[in-house]
Chain A
Amino acid sequence: MEYLGLFNYWAVVVIMMSGFYIMIARHNLVKKIIGLSIFQTGIFYFFISLGKVDSGTAPIFVNQQTGEAVYSNPLPHVLILTAIVVGVATMAVGLALIVRLYESYGSIEEDDIRKIEQKDFHDDADSY
C-alpha cells in the first residue's frame, strides 16, 4: 500500500518521462519544444505536491485564538512560480528560434534540416 500513497510521485514520473520521450523520439522541432514543456511541467508538479500537508490550508495567518491551523508549505509554490516564468521564457526563445529556422531551412522537420546541414558542411569541405 506504500506505493499507492506515493501516487503523486508516480504521476510526476509518468508526465516527466512522456515529455522526455517526446523530446527524443519526435523529429518535429515544435513537438520537441512541447515535450520539453511537458517535461518541465512534471517537475513543477513534483515541487507543488511536495508542499502539500495533510488537511493543510492556504498559508494565510488569520488569528491565533481560533486554534491550531495546519498550513501547507508555501515555499515550493513560490519556487515554482519562478520556475514557471523560466519555463515560459525558455519556450519563447525556443519557438523564436524555430521561426528563424523555418525561414532559413524551409522546414521544421529535423531530418530535412539535417540534410541541408550536411550539404552546408560538404560545401564548406569542397572549397578546400
Chain B
Amino acid sequence: MYSVHFPVLIVILPLIAAPLCIIARHSFAAFLIALTANSISVLLAVAVVRRVIDGSVIHYSLGGWIAPTGIEYYIDTLNGVLLLIISLLSFLALIFAKDSIQQEISKARHYLFYAGWLMCLVGLLGMVITGDAFNVFVFLEISSLSMYMLIALGKQRRQAILAAFRYLMMGSIGASFILLGIGFLYAATGTLNMLDLSERLPGVGQSRTVLVGFSFITVGLLIKTAVFPVHSWLANTYQFAPSSIAVFLAGTATKVSLYVFLRFFFHVFGQDYSFAQMLLDNILLPLVVIGFFVMSIVAVYQTDIRRVLAYSSIAQIGYIFVALIMATESGLTAGIIHMINHAFIKAALFVAAGCIAYRLGSTRIKDMSGLVVHMPWTTSAFIIAGLSLIGIPLTAGFISKWHLIAATIESGWWLIALMILLSSLIAIVYIGKIIEVFCFGSQPNSQGRAVIQEAPLSMLLPLWILIIISLYTGINADVVVSLAAQSADQLLGTMQ
C-alpha cells in the first residue's frame, strides 16, 4: 500500500541523506549513508519501472494536491527507464568513487563530496520524474549547483576550478533561458503542468509569446546538452573533474538534458509544432552534423584520454540528436536506444580511464604504453567499451548504430547516413590510437616507473558490471529496443 508513494521516495531519500552525510562528518560513514540512500533509490526505481513497463502511466500528486493545481510527478516508460538507469549508474559510480577520491580529495572533505553527489542525484532524478515545467528548472539548478562544486574538487586544482567556473557561467545562462522560456509559456497558457500545457498550447500556438518561449527553451536546452556551437564547457569539465564525477556526468547529466528536450518538444509542444511548424529539424540538423563530424576529428588529436572521451561524447550527442530530430517513430526509437547504450558505454570508458589514472597517476595517453601487461582487466574492459563506442557487431554500440542508420535511410537522409558511417570510421582512429598504445606501445624500462598493479576490486567491479550490461544489450537487444519503441510510441502518441 505504500507503493503509491514510491515515485516521490526515489527523489526524497537522497535529499534527506545529503544533510545526514554532512552531520556524519566522517568519510566512510558518509559513504555508507550515500550508498544506502542510492541503493534504495535503485530498488524503488525498479518497482516503479515494473509498473510502467506495460505502457501504463503513473500520476503522483505531491501532497495530495491534484494537478494542475498541485505539482505532479508523471512517469511513463521513457522516464521510468531513465530513472532506473540514472540511479543505477550513480550507484555504480559511487562504488567506484570510494577508492578513486582517496587520491584526489583530502579526506577531511569527503563527506562534503558525498553530500554534493547526493544533491546532484536528487536534481537529476527530479528533472526526469517531474511533470511540472517549473520544477524542471528547480531540479536542473539543484543538480547544476552541486555539479559545479563537485567539478571544482578535481585533482589538478586550478584547472578544475576554472572549468567549474566556466561551466557555471554557461550553465546559468542555459538555465536562465529555460526559466524565461517557461515564463513565456506560463504567460501564454496560465499553467505550468506539462500535460495541461500540451493541451492548451495548440490553442495559442500561433502567438508570438509561445514562439519566444519555444526559442528560449531550445537555446537553454542546447547549452545544457552541449550541442556543437555551445559545447565548449564540456571538454574541460570532463577532463579536470574528479574521475568519479566524470563518470557520473558522462553517464547521466547530458542524458537528462536530452530527456528534457524530448519531453518539451514532443510532449509539451507536440511534434507538429516543434518540427512541422517551427522547423526545428532544419535548424538543428546542420549544427549536429557538423558537431559529430568535427568533434570526432578533434578527438583524434587529443593527447589526454579523458579529453578524447569528452569530445567523443559531444559527437555521440550529435548522433542522438540526428535520430531524435527526424521525429519519426524509428528515429525516436534509435535515439532512445543510443541514449541508453551510450550512457553505459561512456560510463564504462570513464571508469576505465579513472582506474588507469588511479594506478598511473596520469591521464596522458603517452604514459599508458604497454599497460595491457600491468592492468589486463582494466585495459580489456576499455577495449571492449571502445569497440562498442565504434559500433562493432556483438556490442551495444552496434545495435544503436544499426537502428540509427536504418532510421536515417528510412527518412531518406542518405547523405546523413553516409556522414554517420564516416564519422564512425574516425571513431576507429581515436579509439584505435589508445588501444594501440595500450597493447603495442613500447614498454618503458623498469627504472622509468614503479611496477603498476591492477586496479582494486572496488573499481573493477562497477567497470565489469557496466561492460556486462553493454555486452548483454549487444547480444540480446530485445529489452532495450522494445522499451525504446514503446517510449517513442508514447511520446508521439501524446500529441494525437
Contacts and interface: CB of A to CB of B under 8 A. Distances in A.
A93 B149 contact: yes
Contacts, number: 79
A39 B176 contact: yes
Contacts of A47: 183
Nearest to B158: A104
Contacts of A83: 137, 179
Given A23-B173, A40-B176, A90-B168, A76 B186 contact: yes
Contacts of A94: 165, 168-169, 172
Contacts of B180: 43, 46
Given A93-B168, A125-B303, A104 B157 contact: yes
Given A82-B138, A89-B145, A125-B303, A97 B168 contact: yes
Contacts of A29: 165
A11 interface: no
A125 B364 CA distance: 10
B164 interface: yes
Contacts of A128: 303, 364, 366
A53 B17 CA distance: 42
B134 interface: yes
Contacts of A113: 162
Interface string A94-128: 10011011001100000001000100100011011
A15 interface: no
B39 interface: no
Interface in B125-176: 134, 137-138, 141, 145, 148-149, 152, 157-159, 161-162, 164-165, 168-169, 172-173, 176
B-side interface mostly: helix
A104 B180 CA distance: 35
Interface in B220-275: none
Nearest to B168: A94
A42 to B, nearest CB: 9
B141 A90 contact: yes
Nearest to A121: B159
A120 B149 CA distance: 22
A104 B187 CA distance: 45
B161 A90 contact: no
A124 B304 CA distance: 10
Interface in B443-492: none
A79 interface: yes
A100 B407 CA distance: 48
Nearest to B151: A97
B143 to A, nearest CB: 12
Nearest to B159: A120
Contacts of A79: 134
Interface residues of B, number: 29
Given A82-B138, A104-B157, A120-B159, A97 B176 contact: no
A90 B172 contact: yes
Contacts of B165: 29, 94, 97-98, 101
A14 interface: no
Contacts of A39: 173, 176
Contacts of B183: 43, 46-47, 50, 76
Most buried by A among B138, B179, B364: B179
Given A97-B152, A128-B303, A90 B145 contact: yes
A47 B181 CA distance: 11
A45 to B, nearest CB: 11
Interface in B99-142: 134, 137-138, 141
B349 to A, nearest CB: 21
B422 to A, nearest CB: 29
Contacts of B157: 100, 104
A44 to B, nearest CB: 9
Interface in B347-393: 364, 366
A115 B262 CA distance: 40
Most buried by A among B137, B169, B303: B169
B342 to A, nearest CB: 28
A117 B141 contact: no
Contacts of B303: 124-125, 128
A86 interface: yes
Interface string B173-197: 1001001100100110000000000
Most buried by B among A90, A98, A128: A90
Contacts of B304: 124
Nearest to B138: A82
Nearest to B167: A97
Interface string A18-47: 001001000001001000100110010011
A46 B366 CA distance: 53
A23 B158 contact: no
A101 B161 contact: yes
Contacts of A100: 152, 157, 161
The 6 closest A-B CB pairs, nearest first, are: A104-B158, A86-B141, A97-B165, A100-B161, A43-B180, A47-B183
7 contacts: A50-B183, A50-B187, A90-B141, A90-B168, A93-B168, A100-B152, A101-B165
Given A89-B145, A94-B165, A124-B303, 4 more contacts: A23-B169, A50-B187, A100-B157, A101-B162
Interface of B: 134, 137-138, 141, 145, 148-149, 152, 157-159, 161-162, 164-165, 168-169, 172-173, 176, 179-180, 183, 186-187, 303-304, 364, 366
